[in-house]
Structure 1
Amino acid sequence: MPGANLTRVEAQERASIVSNPKYTVSLDLTQGPKSFTSEAVISFDAAKRGASTFLDLIGSRVDSVELNGVALDPAKVWQDSRIELKSLKVHNEVKVKALCDYSHTGEGLHRSVDPSDGRVYLYSQFEVPDARRMYAVFDQPDLKATFDFSVVAPESWIVLGNMPASSCEPVDQQTKPGTLEKAPAEGSKRWTFETTPRMSSYLTAICAGPYAQWTTEYANEDGRTVPMGLYCRQALKSALDKDADYLFDISKKGFAFYAKTWGVPYPYAKYDQIFVPEYNAGAMENIGLVTFRDQYIFESKATGAKINRRVETVLHEMAHMWFGDLVTMKWWNDLWLNESFAEFMSTLCTAEATEWSDDWATFCSGEKSWALTEDQLPTTHPIVAPINDLHDTEVNFDGITYAKGASVLKQLVAYVGREQFFQGIHNYLEKHAYSNATLADLLAELEATSGRDLKAWSAQWLEESGINTLTSKVSTDAEGRITAMSIEQSAPEESPVLRPHRLGIGFYSKNGEGKVVRTDRFELDIDGESTAISEVVGKVRPDFMLINDDDLTYAKLRLDAESLKFAQENLYLFEDSLARAVVLLSFWDMTRDGEYPAEDFVRLVLKTLSSEHQSTTFRYALGQLSTTAHSFVPKSRRPEVLEEVAQGLWQLALAAEPGSDEQLQLVQAYLGYGDDQDFEDHARAMLSGSSELKDLEVDNNMRWSVIHALAGQNMASEDEIEAELSKRDTTENREFAMGARAVRPTKAAKAWAWDQALHNENLTNSQIEAAADGFSGSGDEDLYAPYIDKYFEAVDWVWAHKTFHIAETLLNPLSAGGLYPYKADPATLVRTGDAWLAAHGDAPKALRGMIIQNVEASRRALHVQTYNEGLRK
């Protein structure tokens, strides 16, 4: 895998030597389509005269290295992406001139060509270790520095950095020889940016190209006026233009909410948000220049769940400006300090400062279900994870770091009190502004404001892995009054930690209108194996009792028998969206654990969907329905159940309000089956405009969804796919076409998709993802059987020859997609996967983790299928 893998020990050693770094970085982006020139001048102090250290740089060529005025031989000092610096003085200056390559993998400085108009767009993505792909740097978070950037680019381009531009001038064509690889092309400009405040290198950013632009201002709470900008490709200009005012409004609400909640105004000079193509992540919190994947610009009709998610993402990245950017972790083991906090705060802000007031239901259905899935894998880890090197970090952007951490922070707020929590955050931000901090620093401030000793709490919640199960037990007398209630707590054998929980117990009953509503609520602390709940003794038992009401804590829930039975029959009548989400997540967890019949869950979800209007709960219920029907129902029953689900979804779509969010989601879900005899007729009618679905908008994305679905049933030819692409050849549509070609359930199509994903070096990262996901998207066990051995034979080669993000896309842990042939026989996958793991005990931890997660998904499918098969005997 390209680039040296920095270890924690090496980073600590370098930080003990290097201090006060300052960078002046000059880039020339007019050198052609493959490479750009990079010149970095770095001044820094050394802890002692004569010490040695190194810079990080991934490039195609290093032309010169000069240390304290002495020229060094690049061939001798630049090895394995490191530039060795020996015999340091107390004060040092190093100059590095290099030729670096543009990326097509979404890492470093990515270059994308829009096929619809031929325009070129560049953007940087540096987390975790990829600033070194653009300039020579001490690339670790605790060596904060100031940065002065200048960029030569075509005069028609906009160039953006972390700070406002101080000048933008035509380039003198008589540039002195040797300054650049060659004189910049005619019509170039040099953009020079103001000096940054002290910041970590992974948060630096450059974006350049003929981006469309919108601007406004924010009256900051400290009296400054903060310029704001939105940017996207010209091809998406009309689509973003419809949402620009809304996105500015959401951003301003975020500024106001965070400044008020923490008592610290936005600290930086500007705030630009730019939507970029072929992006690996959702977004990145570069200081003053946040990058987003441009799938967040909706040319076609978007579900409420996607719109809600975009709002959360905007507010998540904004929260990082304080928590992660202003105050940054010292090393990646405290990554959760960034991500968990931003996830928690963006949900809180979305719920309290925007129209998405039910966002905690969104969090429960989406993020929390993600956390529960990953926390029950052998690869689970503490929220404060042990991070020994960069590869450990790269696989730590997961459901534990983001979603479990955010859920546990919600529990911490309930535990210490909201006012005390945010006063502690204020003190933490003030004390450590523009520097680095650790978990101990945060806990010290929270202990001071709350008066609670958080060391034991942290040891149990943050420094131990695993998830507890809370089980409700209730006894009543002949008159229906509660005589006893307890909550039993258990923990998995591999992580036998029982934790204190602050939680709510909700009483719910049907009202006169037939709706299930909350009639009473109790909030209390539990701890240990069993806690008696005296607060409810003597009260009339309601229809339903919800432990963890309002979702205050993080745990698996097992309801008492009467509550479980009531929910099975009446979940669709629950009025509160968060209560529905909590209960549905409990049913899903039981189904995944082989404790609740898969076919009962299928029917529960179909019934619930008939009245559900919370868009994200709707979205995840459809996903859980699909997993259950395709992977958990035994093979002998699967065709019948899949047909039942397909027909059920179609009938729900017909009954949904025309043009509604529910109709759109139901149609999208229906297209993922193809298991009823009318499927092709329904799909073709959508394409022709003759569907019986009223007011269904068959726009660009919906047309491609239909074509993809038809291809997945071998009902769409290559000519049909090509004809659709020729109507509108765009970045997005090329990816859709790639996926449609790959999803066809034929030996030839799978062989083609496999080869394209692994070996076509001309594909972008997004096209590789489309090919890999299409490969695994449709077909039966027999079609994928040959790929079991092929997959495990390819693993080492992928890891050795691909960048981390491409390897992750291809090997693809945890989800349906990538080249893991998860639709093959699960028993064979488990057997072959276990053999690979046994033979590769010394494989890198990150790689083993991916394989373990895939094998465990197959192992779970096998276990749950066996459980459900046994129910029929």
Structure 2
Amino acid sequence: MPSLTRDEAVARADLLTVSLMEVELDLDRGAQTFGSVTRIHLTASGDGQTFVDVKPETLHRATIDGADLDVTSLREGRLPLAVTAGEHVVEVEATMAYSHDGEGLHRATDPADGEDYVFSHLFLDAAPAVFACIDQPDVKAPYAVSVKAPPEWHVIGNGSGTIADGGVWHLAQTRPLSTYFVALCAGPYVSVTDEHDGIRLGLWARRSLRQQLQEHAPEMLEVTRRSFDYFHSIFGIRYPFDDYDQVFVPEFNAGAMENPGCVVVRDAYLFRGAVGRDELLTRANTISHEMAHMWFGDLVSPQWWDDLWLNESFAEYMAHRCLVEATEYTEAWVDSTMSRKSWGYGAERSPSTHPVAGSPAPDAKSALANFDGISYAKGAAVIRQLIEFIGDDAFLEGIRDYLTEHSFGNGTLAGFLAAMSRASGQDLAAWSAAWLETSGVDTIAVDRAAGTVTRRAPADHPAQRPHALDIATYSGGVESSRTTLTLETDSAPVAGVDLTAPLVLPNAGDRTWATPLLDEQSLAALRTELPAMTDAQARAVIWVGLRDGAALGQVDPRLLVDLGEAALVTETNDSIFSRAGMHLTNRVIRVLLPEEEQDAARARMTAVGEQVLATAEPGSSLALHAARLVARTTDDVEGRLVPWAHGRDLPVGLEGDADFRWILIGQLTRRGILTGDEVDEALAQDRTMTGQLGALTARAAIPTEAGKAAAWADLTTNRERSNHELVAIAAGFWGPADRSLVEPYVERYFADIPPMSAWLGEDALARVATMAYPSRFVSERTLELSRATLARTDIDQGVRRAIVDAQSELEEALASRRAFPAARP
């Protein structure tokens, strides 16, 4: 289907204003389709030809002011519409299809009890698959929604709901919303409710997750209350919508979606087994992030998709700030460095890198291709630099100005900069051009001999970015000096730091967006300094800097393995231990190291896990992560994998943990020790959605020709699979020790994955394409096949972006292996 262009959106917004959307949905028609009736109350500024967006299974009728429209004129989701100046009502009746790819109105069946659950996800252009509309972010309108549902179902939406005779739910009319924020969740959901500061709070989940919901509700509600208090205190505008519901739904594509008053969250956050503190922090960050969107994104929405950063960068920054200042998760910026900024730096290294803002998006799908770690993590880092530049008081004053001026409307980069300039009294044009409107990440290095600090922008993305940063030095793991400065030129003298110290660390506090390059003396000192360092933020900066260095072919991946062995055994921060451990096992060892060195390096990580498991407090978060590290890496089948899988000799806190058991089952299946029948037996003991996904991953890992053929066919031809099921299959496919079993599928990936766009949504397929990419096969042949695929003109944009990014990582791996080859025997 054609993607709405910016020119089309501008013309339509000039012609049409929508004053009210009336939407009637009938969800009581079975599991495949639902009824949709929409009345669009609009005003035309003049006579003109335009169109309504609608993507039905069947379009039954359409009228304007009671006169029939030609329903046979519908083409590719666009129903032509001729209007005259003045007010009109367009009514559209259609039968719509439920989706199974996480877009539109998604319907999922819970295998635990056979109950069905429905939720909407209308970002970026999926709203017309639920109701007819003028689908663009700058056409906002109030919504009056009614829903007919089965009698045992509960309906949750943007407005509080009441049920009338006939099983019809009426949701309170909303304030003006962009189409992609309309929310609907329906099914036999269960809830925990509360009230805070006059706002009714609701947490909702599948009936089979009632126990987990009740167990986790107190902590989640506490984060919710504290976030409300904090944002009210700094924004100067009260929460501007109705009740505040957070609905935990199955098979959601993202972490969460910020629908006003009805936040949709992936229900994997209702942890059913042992959980690490970093995982609780991630969930708390998601809760706070989505709440920040009630102001940034919902109250003020982007005028066009290339200003999505005004949503995500601010929510990313505000959530971390809120956690640090208003909750117990005071280490949130350390977690941001390890999880979020590393994601953003990876996006910056890719050929698909783009500016935070001002990147022209000629159509909606082009904007979606630029929706990544740059939009989130880099944008948040740039906001921290803006605060350094204009001061926090001016920043908060500018926010209040911006939100007040554009309330229930739309914002732009120009409007944001104008508000910040008024508050600070500074012209921000040059600052914006350097930080928001250019791509690339600078490197920051200290020259000990010259006593200077230098910055270097990427050659293909030149820029003059001023960096407010700090430089710290360490000896014996203890900070020996620190200085702060603003680097406005390519080189500047460094004063106030001990340049004779073993370790000199630029950007030690992670205040800016840059890759710290360590000098040779500092790199050599890491083996002794990093294990002894008490500054968690500095440790995180080192790990992420080394990650970048290894990806760029500047740091030997063996150094990262050495440091993992030396430093992770003394690591006390959950985010650092878990994220560094995952990066070492999944990327450094599995991809960057030569194949003949991988087994030995993996065994060293097993030893790290065993040592931490033996010394950490039993049942602690670090002990949990250590046990997971052992389970992922050990070759001790009889001493570890088999007894743990059978519930024997488990670490404290992992007794009965079904999720941990699926890790073990996957490892045993990958080795050919468990068969498909035994996977079925395990699934019979865990008939949940999570168990189903674990079984799909384990079954896809079966190391036989027949097993691989069946898994590949399931992945690439089974149109009944949900988005999450496909990702689970892809996750288990490439792992056998005998690489020859899957090598034929390297070529088949490039032939079989792109055509799946015929039945799978773009966002869902992009996730499948990323997970299924044959990254384990680091060869020129894989690169040749990848490049040939990207040369085709018939590739879906989401798949293209997934392959571009995966290919970039493949090229990094090839460069690393050339720079640091295996030693000759």
Q: Same fold (TM over 0.5)?
A: yes
Q: CA deviation at 1:798?
A: 2.2
Deviations 1:392-412 (A, max 9, x none): 233333111111111111121
Deviations 1:66-101 (A, max 9, x none): 11221122112x221111101434211111011001
Query: Relative to structure 1, is the Cα distance of residues 754 and 127 closer, same or farther in structure 2, using a 3 angstrom cutoff?
Result: same
- The match for 2:314 is 341
Is 1:738 aligned with 2:696?
yes
Q: Distance in 2 between matches of 1:770 and 1:795?
A: 15
Query: Relative to structure 1, is the Cα distance of residues 544 and 149 closer, same or farther in structure 2, using a 3 angstrom cutoff?
Result: same
- The match for 1:186 is none
User: Which residue of the other structure, out of 806, 814, 825, is the alignment partner of 1:862?
Assistant: 814
User: Which residue of the other structure, out of 235, 244, 254, is the alignment partner of 1:281?
Assistant: 254
Is 1:632 aligned with 2:592?
yes
- The match for 1:74 is 71
The residue type paired with residue 640 of structure 1 is A
- The match for 1:209 is 187
Moved more, 311-320 or 757-766: 757-766
Per the alignment, in what secondary structure is the counterpart of residue 570 of structure 2?
coil
- The match for 2:9 is 11
Q: CA deviation at 1:519?
A: 4.4
Query: Relative to structure 1, is the Cα distance of residues 698 and 592 closer, same or farther in structure 2, using a 3 angstrom cutoff?
Result: farther
The residue type paired with residue 532 of structure 1 is P
Contact 1:781 1:823 in 2 (8 A): no
How many residue pairs are counted as aligned between the two chains? 823
Is 1:474 aligned with 2:448?
yes
Deviations 1:704-747 (A, max 9, x none): 11111111222111121111111231122111111110022322
Is 1:650 aligned with 2:628?
no
Q: CA deviation at 1:845?
A: 4.8
Query: Relative to structure 1, is the Cα distance of residues 4 and 692 closer, same or farther in structure 2, using a 3 angstrom cutoff?
Result: closer
Q: Distance in 2 between matches of 1:540 and 1:341?
A: 37
TM-score, normalised by the number of residues in structure 2: 0.97
- The match for 1:306 is 279
- The match for 2:424 is 450
Query: Relative to structure 1, is the Cα distance of residues 705 and 870 closer, same or farther in structure 2, using a 3 angstrom cutoff?
Result: closer
Deviations 1:41-82 (A, max 9, x none): 111111212x01111111101111011221122112x22111
- The match for 2:454 is 488
- The match for 1:181 is none
Is 1:837 aligned with 2:790?
yes
The residue type paired with residue 472 of structure 2 is G
Per the alignment, in what secondary structure is the counterpart of residue 536 of structure 1?
coil
The residue type paired with residue 507 of structure 2 is N
Runs of 5+ consecutive residues of structure 2 not aligned to the other structure: none
Identity %: 34
Q: Distance in 2 between matches of 1:281 and 1:540?
A: 45
The residue type paired with residue 527 of structure 1 is E
Contact 2:19 2:141 in 1 (8 A): yes
The residue type paired with residue 563 of structure 1 is S
Contact 1:142 1:329 in 2 (8 A): yes
- Within-5 A mapping of 1:32-43: 32-43=30-41
Q: CA deviation at 1:31?
A: 1.1
The residue type paired with residue 490 of structure 2 is E
Q: CA deviation at 1:543?
A: 4.4
Is 1:502 aligned with 2:468?
yes
User: Which residue of the other structure, out of 749, 761, 767, is the alignment partner of 1:809?
Assistant: 767
The residue type paired with residue 618 of structure 1 is F
Q: Distance in 2 between matches of 1:612 and 1:776?
A: 31
Is 1:192 aligned with 2:170?
yes
Q: CA deviation at 1:692?
A: 7.1
Contact 2:569 2:608 in 1 (8 A): no
Contact 1:141 1:202 in 2 (8 A): yes
Contact 1:753 1:774 in 2 (8 A): no
Contact 1:686 1:698 in 2 (8 A): no
Per the alignment, in what secondary structure is the counterpart of residue 571 of structure 1?
helix
Runs of 5+ consecutive residues of structure 1 not aligned to the other structure: 172-188, 220-224, 476-483, 511-515
The residue type paired with residue 578 of structure 1 is Q
User: Which residue of the other structure, out of 287, 291, 295, is the alignment partner of 2:264?
Assistant: 291
Q: Distance in 2 between matches of 1:194 and 1:759?
A: 42
Q: Distance in 2 between matches of 1:757 and 1:634?
A: 29
Contact 1:107 1:124 in 2 (8 A): yes
Deviations 1:315-350 (A, max 9, x none): 000000000000010011001110111011101111
The residue type paired with residue 394 of structure 1 is L
Q: Distance in 1 between matches of 2:234 and 2:83?
A: 49
Contact 1:780 1:824 in 2 (8 A): no
The residue type paired with residue 734 of structure 1 is Q
Is 1:709 aligned with 2:667?
yes
The residue type paired with residue 67 of structure 1 is I
Q: CA deviation at 1:842?
A: 7.2
Q: CA deviation at 1:260?
A: 0.9
Deviations 1:7-36 (A, max 9, x none): 222111211111133111111111111111
- The match for 1:258 is 231
Contact 1:285 1:317 in 2 (8 A): yes
Q: Distance in 2 between matches of 1:335 and 1:779?
A: 43
The residue type paired with residue 867 of structure 1 is A
Q: CA deviation at 1:650?
A: 2.9
Q: Distance in 2 between matches of 1:723 and 1:700?
A: 13
Query: Relative to structure 1, is the Cα distance of residues 844 and 236 closer, same or farther in structure 2, using a 3 angstrom cutoff?
Result: closer
Is 1:98 aligned with 2:94?
yes
Q: Distance in 2 between matches of 1:418 and 1:783?
A: 57
Contact 2:138 2:410 in 1 (8 A): yes
Per the alignment, in what secondary structure is the counterpart of residue 636 of structure 1?
helix
User: Which residue of the other structure, out of 504, 519, 536, is the alignment partner of 1:577?
Assistant: 536
Q: CA deviation at 1:248?
A: 1.0
Per the alignment, in what secondary structure is the counterpart of residue 655 of structure 2?
coil
- The match for 2:716 is 758
Contact 1:659 1:697 in 2 (8 A): no
Per the alignment, in what secondary structure is the counterpart of residue 210 of structure 2?
helix
Per the alignment, in what secondary structure is the counterpart of residue 159 of structure 1?
strand
Q: Distance in 2 between matches of 1:639 and 1:508?
A: 34
Deviations 1:804-839 (A, max 9, x none): 123213311xxxx22x2222242211122223333x
Q: Distance in 2 between matches of 1:553 and 1:607?
A: 28
Deviations 1:338-396 (A, max 9, x none): 01110111011111111110111000011011111110111111112332222223333
Moved more, 580-589 or 125-134: 580-589
TM-score, normalised by the number of residues in structure 1: 0.91
Contact 1:779 1:823 in 2 (8 A): no
- The match for 1:416 is 390
Q: Distance in 2 between matches of 1:694 and 1:247?
A: 25
Q: CA deviation at 1:109?
A: 0.9
User: Which residue of the other structure, out of 486, 489, 498, is the alignment partner of 1:525?
Assistant: 486
Query: Relative to structure 1, is the Cα distance of residues 639 and 75 closer, same or farther in structure 2, using a 3 angstrom cutoff?
Result: same
Per the alignment, in what secondary structure is the counterpart of residue 159 of structure 2?
coil
The residue type paired with residue 183 of structure 2 is A
The residue type paired with residue 250 of structure 1 is V
Deviations 1:740-772 (A, max 9, x none): 100223222221111111111222221111112
The residue type paired with residue 82 of structure 1 is R
Query: Relative to structure 1, is the Cα distance of residues 650 and 785 closer, same or farther in structure 2, using a 3 angstrom cutoff?
Result: same
Contact 1:826 1:861 in 2 (8 A): no
- The match for 1:52 is 49
Q: Distance in 2 between matches of 1:63 and 1:692?
A: 60
The residue type paired with residue 303 of structure 2 is K
Contact 1:757 1:810 in 2 (8 A): no
- The match for 1:160 is 156
Is 1:671 aligned with 2:631?
yes
Contact 1:414 1:552 in 2 (8 A): no
